[in-house]
Homo-oligomer: A and B are copies of this chain.
Amino acid sequence: MSYLKNDRYLRALQCLPVDYTPVWMMRQAGRYLPEYRKLRLKAGNFMTLCQTPELACEATLQPLKRFDLDAAIIFSDILTIPDAMGLGLHFEAGEGPKFVKPILSNIDIEQLPIPDPEQSLKYVMDAIRLTKKELAGKIPLIGFSGSPWTLATYMLEGGSSKAFTKIKKMMYCDPKALHLLLNKLSTCIALYLNAQIQAGAQSIMIFDTWGGVLSHQCYQEFSLYYMQMILSQLTRGVKSPDVTSYVPITLFTKGGGLWLDHIMQTGCDAIGVDWTVDLSKIKHKGQVAVQGNLDPSILYAGKSIIESNVDTVLTEFGGYNGHIFNLGHGIHQDTPVEHVQYLIDAVHQQSKRYHYD
């Protein structure tokens, strides 16, 4: 009923029956692949790789040439939005992301522009359009963004953080200023994700990488609230026998295992979960889809260990519809490439018994 050759991923996101559990991996286009490292070297720096649609497209497609993955995710970075807002993103060798102009004052927040995604982020849309063409309906393409809270951590701390001192100071001492920033980010992200959908993204994932550092009250007020605001603004289309007529949204808060019930109530289609969560204990299985949740470190181990851990995850989820197999976080850059093949084979082969023939 759909023009997609492999629509397992989209079907699973809608909790529809599938023949086996679809699988993809966060950061599947990345440094563990020798061909990616070559491409990265060719690009010169990471931002050029992101900002050149042909290169971003190539990076997106690389893992698909090796592995029988059930979804592609556009190669990009969660920090493209703050960069487009004028903060000046750059990556130095061996270090995490840094901003030339981090937010230092409330005036900085007030003055932040709302970028037009088809202007300053056009390179992402072009990469999506190009990749979509290249994929030629083989598998669906995922678009994504960081959550408002997660982007705000980088924008205030100036880069990666351990203690999140600056943003937490603002949260407790001047919550209005932080709410203004999160509001602006939500507007930007909604525009950005709608542009991605318009450009051809068939599913959207929102990465709330740092929501888990919040208290249970603050998580709802400063992270989940804004993700829900974005959700309500996305043009998801309508469900129909053609699964591609609807764009399902996945919310993933790393370390958010205690709050899954709340996340599910936002109206998202799927939740991402990390490896701290026992999938057998998740409520509403078969109603909201679940993506996860293997510890990426398991890929350091050999075939039989990978297989038995895949078996555990599949058994925990049992025979419900609506499971997308994934890692609980991005794949480590020192993962042996052949181990990824073991994982994908194991998921496809072992999951058949939970699904229709």
Contact = CB atoms under 8 A, between A and B. Distances in A.
Interface of A: 162-165, 168-169, 171-173, 212, 214-219, 255, 257-258, 275-278, 295, 297-298, 300-302, 305, 312, 328, 332, 334
Nearest to A259: B276
Contacts of A172: 297-298, 300-301, 305
A53 B255 CA distance: 40
10 contacts: A168-B295, A173-B305, A212-B255, A214-B295, A215-B328, A216-B276, A217-B312, A218-B295, A219-B276, A258-B276
A255 B298 CA distance: 20
Contact of A165 (B163, B255, B328, B334): B334
Copies in the complex: 2
A169 B336 CA distance: 12
A275 B216 contact: yes
8 interchain residue pairs of minimum CB distance: A168-B297, A215-B275, A172-B301, A216-B278, A169-B300, A257-B258, A215-B295, A173-B301
Nearest to A214: B276
Contacts of A217: 312
A150 B215 CA distance: 23
A163 B160 CA distance: 14
A300 B218 CA distance: 15
A297 B255 contact: no
A212 B255 CA distance: 9
A312 to B, nearest CB: 7
Contacts of A218: 295
Contacts of A219: 276
Nearest to A306: B172
A173 B300 contact: yes
B215 A276 contact: yes
Given A173-B300, A173-B301, A258-B257, A216 B277 contact: yes
A95 B115 CA distance: 39
Contacts of A297: 164-165, 168-169, 171-172
Contacts of A163: 332
Among A218, A255, A297, A305, max chain B CB count under 10 A is at: A297
Nearest to A298: B172
A105 B278 CA distance: 32
Contacts of A212: 255, 276
Given A173-B302, A258-B278, 19 more contacts: A162-B162, A163-B332, A165-B297, A165-B334, A168-B295, A169-B300, A172-B298, A172-B300, A172-B305, A173-B301, A212-B255, A212-B276, A214-B275, A214-B276, A214-B295, A215-B275, A215-B295, A215-B328, A216-B276
